[in-house]
Amino acid sequence: MSLGYYKRKLHQFFSQITSIVPLDCLILWNTAMPLGEKIKGGFLVPGVSRLGPFLRHNVTEANFFSCMAAKEYDLDVLDLHFHFRHSLQHRMPDGVHWDALAHRHISSLLLHHIADAWGFDLYEPAASQGQGECTQTSV
């Protein structure tokens, strides 16, 4: 697949998704995570195994173009590649997958991004709803 083909399909996808999804819906595009230098296991099927040495660079380039295209369509972008570029110790030995701590961090990033996009402050306690407010008293 050529870069030009990828870009065309990406724009086609973003155009279709933004025409289908209601305007008040949050569409969040996240970039692909960093790949290892050597990819092992069943990830690369025989037909594309020759791409292995170049795939990590292709992913970085594709992330850049997808991020720019998503912004053209006013979509939110969460750059997971950026967030995990210095956390390679959490990548599994196959060069593709990530450990449980990385997945927990991904969940946190996603939830924080969504909360921020919807105007929620995760660091402020929720307003009480008809219940007495908690007060701290000294003993």
Domain of residue 85, CATH code: 3.40.50.1110
Does a structural domain hold residue 60? Answer: yes
Does a structural domain hold residue 113? Answer: yes
pTM: 0.78
Does a structural domain hold residue 83? Answer: yes
Does a structural domain hold residue 33? Answer: yes
Does a structural domain hold residue 139? Answer: no
b (16+ CB within 10 A) / e for 3-33: eeebeeebeeebeeeeeeeeeeeeeebbbeb
Q: Which residue has the tokens 């990385």?
A: 102
CA gap 103, 6 in Å, rounded: 27
Does a structural domain hold residue 138? Answer: no
Q: For residue 110, what are the domain limits?
A: 3-117
Does a structural domain hold residue 130? Answer: no
CA-derived radius of gyration, the chain? 20
Does a structural domain hold residue 132? Answer: no
Would you say 35 and 55 are in contact if contact means Cβ atoms under 8 Å apart?
yes
CA gap 19, 7 in Å, rounded: 18
Task: Indicate the number of domains in the chain.
Answer: 1
pLDDT tens per residue across all 139 residues of the chain: 678 899 999 999 999 999 999 989 999 999 999 988 887 766 666 666 666 667 788 889 999 999 999 999 999 999 999 999 999 999 999 888 999 999 999 999 999 999 999 998 877 765 544 444 444 444 3
